[in-house]
Amino acid sequence: SQQGEEDPQALSIQEGENATMNCSYKTSINNLQWYRQNSGRGLVHLILIRSNEREKHSGRLRVTLDTSKKSSSLLITASRAADTASYFCATVGSGNTGKLIFGQGTTLQVKP
């Protein structure tokens, strides 16, 4: 079963606006990762945040992690049409199982 739940399921914004996606999970984690997928293609890793970190930045991306609420958010600033894709959070359990548990994803559409 999926551990992560993402909110919203779909998001439509104009170019230049910010996009925020949220992810919730159920069990303790070692790290949480965000991936992007363009239209049924492979996933591309965006950013990884460890359980002892609260915030991380990478270019236009900002990720926060609140382990007390078991939630994370991904903020994309100054969005571009090329950011149109599905975004998934994935958790790695603290038990070192070697697998990622993915959320259902947020579909982002950025209109030019």
SS3 call for 108: strand
Cβ atoms within 10 Å of 8's Cβ, excluding its own: 12
Q: Is-contact 106 37, C-beta < 8 A?
A: no
- Which is nearer to other proteins, 12 or 38 (by Cβ)? 38
- Which is nearer to other proteins, 26 or 45 (by Cβ)? 45
97: contact with other proteins by CB under 8 A = yes
77: contact with other proteins by CB under 8 A = no
Q: Which of residues 22-41 bind other proteins (CB under 8 A)?
A: 30-31, 33, 35, 40-41
State the residues that interact with other proteins by CB under 8 A.
2, 30-31, 33, 35, 40-45, 48, 88, 90, 92, 96-105
